[in-house]
Amino acid sequence: MNDCIFCKIVSGQIPGKIVFETDEVLAFHDVNPVAPVHILVVPKKHYSNLHELISNEKSLVEKLFESIDRVVSDFEISEKGFRIIMNNGEEGGQSVPHLHFHIIGGTKLGNRLV
């Protein structure tokens, strides 16, 4: 998608502070972090939402979660705890129509939703 900001980060048209990358997944710092660690994990191929991903490429789900596991290990938050958030669709709070996961940690998060 030409106007998708995450596709532009994946292609290098827009710089991103990349922390992890495979052939199919990219992880980078969120530009508006809500915690000391706030990383976005996205498939490099554009999928608008979870349903679209599952309908087309179920095997990528495992690769996304393996990437998440790698990022939390690299940022040393796997033991103390972290939050994974995926907003799906407009009513679910998804503001960028490219499937993505937020990894949030590095501080005590409490019970409120981010």
11-66: pLDDT as tens digits: 999 999 999 999 999 999 999 999 999 999 999 999 999 999 999 999 999 999 99
The reported pLDDT for the residue numbered 14 is 95
Residue 112 is assigned to a structural domain of this protein: no
If one counts the domains in the chain, the total is 1
pLDDT for the residue 37: 97
pTM: 0.93
Question: Could you tell me if residue 42 is inside a domain?
Answer: yes
Mean pLDDT over 74-103 rounds to: 95
The whole domain housing 69 covers 5-105
Mean pLDDT of the chain: 94
Residue 113, pLDDT score: 60
Please indicate, yes or no, if residue 56 is contained in any of the structural domains: yes
How buried is residue 77: exposed, middle or buried, by Cβ count under 10 Å (0-12/13-18/19+)? buried
Is residue 100 part of the annotated active site? The answer reads: yes
CATH number at residue 48: 3.30.428.10
For residue 23, give both structure tokens. Answer: 């052939």
Which is catalytic among the residues 29, 46, 98, 100?
Answer: 100
Residue 15 lies in a domain: yes
Percent with pLDDT over 90 in the chain? 91
**32 occurs within a structural domain:** yes
Q: Report if residue 110 sits inside a domain.
A: no
Q: What is the pLDDT of residue 34?
A: 94
pLDDT of residue 57: 92
pLDDT at 93 over 70: yes
Please return the burial class of 58, using the count of CB atoms within 10 Å of its CB with bins 0-12, 13-18 and 19+.
exposed
Look at residue 112 in the predicted model and tell me its pLDDT. Answer: 67
